[in-house]
Amino acid sequence: MTPFRFALLWIALFVGAIASGVDLLAYLSYLILFVAVAMWLYARLTMEGLSVRRTVGQTYTHLGDAIEVEYELRNDHGIAKLWLEVVDRSNWPEPVPGRVLQIGSRTTRKWKVLVKAMRRGRFHLGPILMRSGDPFGLFATRSETRSHALVLVYPRVVPLPHWSLPGSFLEGNVLTGKRSLQATSMVMGIREYRPGDAMNRIHWPSSARQRTLQVKEFELDKTADLWIFLDLDDRWHRGQGEDSTEERAVTVAASVVAKALRQHRNVGMVTTARRPEMFQPDRGAKQLGKLMQYLAEIEARPSQSLADTLVETLPKLRRGSSCVIITPSLDPAWVRPASTLREAAIATQAVVVSPTADADPHDRARRNEVLGELAVAGIGAANLASGGRVEELFSGGGERRPNVA
């Protein structure tokens, strides 16, 4: 019953008691008034002494995985709360499950919630809203705790057992003259130990001679860079959710990044935009985190064509690099710039992503035309067909390998 209807009931009883002179109606009106005042006072105390804390098991996860969120509710007041609703407000794709519970005086309650990541992106958890009131539901109270947490949902990463890194045109190791944070086969020199240096980098003979700890410095060897070209031109992307060409293309890019970095390759990335967005090649966990964070938030948008991006980017690529082009584009105009990469001693592969509902025979014909031109240009290509699994890329289902001279 709402407070307004409760007030109407009391007024009716009170007027009836005065008009009729019946004592029972007068007693009922006084009782109802007493209950209303008592419930109002009780409702004012329902939020006293309450505090809630949220703990997120991890600040990032991959698409399709789940994160664990733990809540701790404390009641430091001497009055028990008969009912309490706790809701975590967020921009998570699916509502974060709330809970309705009761909590005794000076007690603590904990519970955990598993939240599945349904979409890539940056999401905020919080604030936490608590609602309560009196047992009759006459007066509602609420309190908001401004507790926020940030969760990044990275794209799905799948194994690519049939894909191998494009061949390199570099012969042997070439030194760059740059110091490396990673241990390489090239020792650049010796310097004095600094706090934070790994113990396995200490050069003990020099330390003994200098009578102070000396550590080895390494030089970055110039292995072939791997460039990933990801086409985000929304003119070619189709579908929604995980079955969209956008999501499948990002999954391919993330999987290639993860495998190449595990094999200690320098990995860079170029995505189509009004002006191409470029990440310079690097290796290690820092580069993995940087690229995954970028892939978590990107989306298809109006941009310049893949052909223009390739032409604009080509002068910035070092001879002897490798590249993987990931695109749903049916415009064969990008094949010529891709073949120019190969002519510039840049080993090139392509992944053509098809929509899951590929029912248009005209689109299929154009896609076959693109794949045919790639084959003529000597560029290894794989078609991620409708219903195809990313794990099966380059498994022998019609892709062609480049002839690396």
Give the span between the Cα atoms of 223 and 197, in whole angstroms: 25
Q: Supply the pLDDT for residue 173.
A: 46
pLDDT, mean over the chain: 87
Token representation of residue 131:
């609602």
Mean pLDDT of 250-277: 92
What does the DSSP assignment read for 207-265? HHHHTS-EEEEEEEE-PPEEEEEE--BTTT---SGGGSHHHHHHHHHHHHHHHHHHTT-
Q: Supply the pLDDT for residue 218.
A: 63
pLDDT of 180 over the 60 cut? no
Q: Supply the pLDDT for residue 167.
A: 60
Q: Supply the pLDDT for residue 276.
A: 83
pLDDT of 196 over the 80 cut? no
Kindly report each contact of residues 191-199 with a partner whose C-beta sits within 8 Å and lies 24 or more positions away, as own/partner.
191/215, 191/217
Q: Supply the pLDDT for residue 354.
A: 93
Give the span between the Cα atoms of 332 and 233, in whole angstroms: 15
pLDDT of 168 over the 70 cut? no
Least confident interval from 65-69, 87-91, 114-118, 399-403: 399-403
Q: Supply the pLDDT for residue 402.
A: 38
Q: Supply the pLDDT for residue 292.
A: 96
Q: Are 233 and 326 in contact (CB under 8 A)?
A: no
Q: Report which secondary-structure segment, H or E, holds 22.
A: none
Least confident interval from 6-10, 88-92, 286-290: 6-10
SS3 311: helix
Please state the CATH superfamily assignment of the domain spanning residues 225-392 in this structure. Answer: von Willebrand factor, type A domain (3.40.50.410)
Q: Supply the pLDDT for residue 223.
A: 57
Mean pLDDT of 38-47: 91
pLDDT of 274 over the 60 cut? yes
> For residue range 330-354, what is the model confidence (pLDDT) as tens digits?
999 999 999 998 888 899 999 999 9
232 residue type, one letter? L
Q: Supply the pLDDT for residue 188.
A: 64
pLDDT band at 68 (very low <50, low <70, confident <90, very high): very high
Q: Supply the pLDDT for residue 401.
A: 41
Give domain 50-154's CATH number out of 3.40.50.300, 3.40.120.10, 3.90.600.10, 2.60.40.10: 2.60.40.10
According to DSSP, the residues that pair with 192 across neighbouring strands are: 214
Q: Are 180 and 318 in contact (CB under 8 A)?
A: no
Q: Give me the count of residues in the chain.
A: 405
Least confident interval from 41-55, 63-77, 354-368: 354-368
3-state helix, strand, coil in the chain (%, to 5): 30, 30, 35
pLDDT band at 198 (very low <50, low <70, confident <90, very high): confident
Q: Are 43 and 141 in contact (CB under 8 A)?
A: yes
SS3 405: coil
Mean pLDDT of 207-214: 89
pLDDT band at 31 (very low <50, low <70, confident <90, very high): confident
Q: Are 148 and 124 in contact (CB under 8 A)?
A: yes
Give the span between the Cα atoms of 25 and 15, in whole angstroms: 9
pLDDT of 29 over the 70 cut? yes
pLDDT of 300 over the 60 cut? yes
pLDDT of 99 over the 50 cut? yes
According to DSSP, the residues that pair with 352 across neighbouring strands are: 327, 383
DSSP secondary structure code for residue 362 in this structure? H
Sign, Cα dihedral of 351, 355, 357, 360: negative
Least confident interval from 3-7, 62-66, 186-190: 186-190
* Cβ contacts of 233 within 8 Å, gap of 6 or more: 272, 300, 302, 303, 304, 305, 306, 329
> For residue range 353-400, what is the model confidence (pLDDT) as tens digits?
999 876 688 988 999 999 999 999 999 999 998 888 999 998 864 444
Least confident interval from 6-10, 46-50, 357-361: 357-361
Cα distances (Å, whole numbers) of residue 35 to 57, 298, 353, 364: 45, 57, 68, 74
Give the span between the Cα atoms of 116 and 6, in whole angstroms: 43
